[in-house]
Each structure stands twice: as C-alpha cells, then as structure tokens.
Copies of this chain bind each other. A is one copy, B any other.
Amino acid sequence: MNILVTNDDGIHAPGLHALVQSLKKLGKVTVVAPATEMSAVGHAITLSDPLKVKEIHKDGQFFGFAVTGTPADCVKIAYGALLKEMPAPDILVSGINLGSNTGINVIYSGTVSAATEGAILGVPSFAISLATFQNPDFSAAAKFARDMVPIVIETPFPSGVYLNINVPAVPAKEIKGIRITRQGMARYREEYHVRTDPRNLKYYWLTGEKIDIETDEGYDDRAILNNKISITPIHFDLTYYPYLDKLEKLDITFQENNGTS
C-alpha cells in the first residue's frame, strides 16, 4: 500500500512523525510536507512564486520532501511532479494536526485543505487532528489513523467527499467511541489586542474563544468535548442548493443602459 502523508504544522512536527511511524505498519509512506509551519493558511496555493523542494533525512534515512509552500501546494506538487514516476498513492492522510479543526475553523485549516486537494485529485483522503495545543500525546490518534486507512480506501465515497477526523486529547482508555458529526457553526468571540511598537505605531493581535457550541453531540466540537472521536464527511462544493430556486424567483436583471453611469 502507498500512503501519501502531509500536514500544515511542517515536516518537523511531532504529529507528522507519530502519524508516519504508525502508518508505516501498513505499507510505504511518502512524506511531502511544508518546510515550515503553515497553520491557518486556509486553502492557499502558491501561484506567484516558485516552489522549492528539499529532501529531508532523519537518523541517516530519507524521511520526506520539504516544500516551500502550503499544504495544498504539497499535495499538488506530490502528484504533479515529485511522485510522477512512482505508483500513485492509494490514500492521502493529512495530520496529525496540533489543535482541533472543527466548526468554522474547518475553512481556515491547512490540514483539511490538503485533504481537500486530495479529494480534488480523486484520491481517498482524510485529515486528522488532535484537540489540544498542550502536551500532546499523538499515540491514540496515530493508531486510529491506521485503523481508518483501510476503511477509507474500501468505502466508495462519492467523488469529492472526504473525511475530517478530530480526536479528543485524552488517554486512549478515556475515549468513549466514535461519533459521525456535522461541522459545527459555533461562533468566536474575537478581540484584537491593540499594542504600540517601539516606533510608536499601533499593531493588532487577534485573540478569540469559541462561544455557543452546540449541545448536540452530532456536532464536531460537542462530540470531542464528550471525549468521542469526531468524523465529519465533507466536500468542497460550497453551493447552497436550497437557495437556487429562491434566487431564480428574485428575477435579477442586468440593466445595460446604465452600464457606465
């Protein structure tokens, strides 16, 4: 089995290493990951600059390709250039991210965007994140990722559908099972800290906390708070279908005569 692994915390991140060590038991793992941390880059791609690629060795062995780009760039360049001569990967796994990717954060997530790119390329894909920023123990998530690989490969997902997995940051024996969830819509209470730099210019630093998290365990954040592994099937079609008809009825027109007024 050929497994392509990437992330958004960068090729040196412990979460990536834990994932690689675990998935190696299933087959050949190829790492193509950002050279530096790329958190909250969203689904960015690099168009105006070229990408550079460096081969990274660890413990005297080839570990993977470090790319001077985003997670989406890594997946694109893996398929488009680096792995062109090799057998195509059977699956793409992105992670293990340090910090959950749930709720509206999903749209900012580089980890998820790499899986999106996999789905666009037609390869079975999932993103996996650990819901903590402190003292991470990736072992349960790494094991679960390994369990999920054959399931994701064997499940006939519709084109463009992939999984966003979040694992609670508790010891394995405290994990209370799996919950299939939807993306939560909890908002953030955000605040900018306004400070003054040494030249007396103002600068702004974003802080925030999630509020109004859904109480229903069928939403990603609540499932994790209840110590369950959250699995959300996602896709990249943003169309809000229920409104297609309603917009038709608005009968919007383009008035050419006022074109330049």
- CB contact between A178 and one of B151, B158, B192, B253 (< 8 Å): that residue: B253
Question: In the bound complex, do residue A45 and residue B206 qualify as a contact, i.e. CB atoms below 8 Å apart?
Answer: yes
Total number of A residues with any Cβ neighbor in B under 8 Å: 91
Which residue in B187, B194, B229 is a CB contact (below 8 Å) of A81? B194
A104 touching B236 by the CB < 8 A rule?
yes
CB atoms of A151 and B41 under 8 A apart: no
B178 near A252 with CB under 8 A, answer: yes
Known: A50-B204, A260-B139. A104 touches B120 (CB 8 A): yes
Q: Does A248 contact B (CB under 8 A)?
A: yes
Given contacts A81-B192, A231-B252, contact A236 B107 (CB under 8 A): yes
User: Which B residues touch A182, using CB under 8 A?
Assistant: 237, 239, 241, 244
In the complex, what residue of chain B is closest to A192 when comparing beta carbons? B81
The answer to whether the Cβ of A225 comes within 8 Å of any Cβ in the partner chain is no
Contacts of A153 in B (CB 8 A): none
Chain B residues with Cβ under 8 A from A107's Cβ? Answer: 43, 113, 116, 236, 238
Report which of B202, B205, B255 forms a contact with A147, defined as CB distance below 8 A: B255
Q: In the A-B complex, list the 4 residue pairs whose CB atoms are closest, starting with the nearest.
A: A172-B259, A42-B42, A42-B43, A233-B243
